[in-house]
Amino acid sequence: MCLKEISEIFSNFGVGFGTLLAGLGGGVVFWNWAKARKDVSDFKKIQDTYHPSKLNVSFKLFRFPNKYGRIYIYDLENKEKHWIKNMGTYAELGYEAEKWLDVSDETLDKEYKNYKEKKDIIAP
């Protein structure tokens, strides 16, 4: 083999390897974009489901001061509870003021104690 042929083979491997890496990088970027878009879509559904106008009708808000002030949504229809991860998410859900009831594990009504904990809510 002459030097020119070896150089061409090496060049072709380099181009192929570079293309492979670029494809993988593009796949990662696409995956992140698709996940972010799904997160936004899911959060819009949550905003509609737990809109402030439905408070105390289809869900209730409880804050547990003894658990670092965690605020939970108790879904009355599905018998589920969701932790609102931060106050930014609370505001993104459409709440401007303190609409929750302060409770503790001891003062929480029995009917709410069997609610299953579901996915935490955080704004994207």
This prediction's pTM: 0.74
Contact predicate 61/52, CB 8 Å: no
The type of residue at 31 is W
Instruction: Convert the pLDDT of each residue in 22-80 to its tens digit.
Output: 777 777 888 888 888 988 899 999 999 999 999 999 999 999 998 889 999 999 999 99
- Taking the C-alpha atoms of residue 68 and residue 5, their distance in angstroms, rounded to an integer, is 69
Helix (H, G, I), strand (E, B), or coil: what is residue 101? strand
Tokens of 87: 């106050």
What pLDDT was estimated at residue 105? 86
For residue 1, pLDDT beyond 70: no
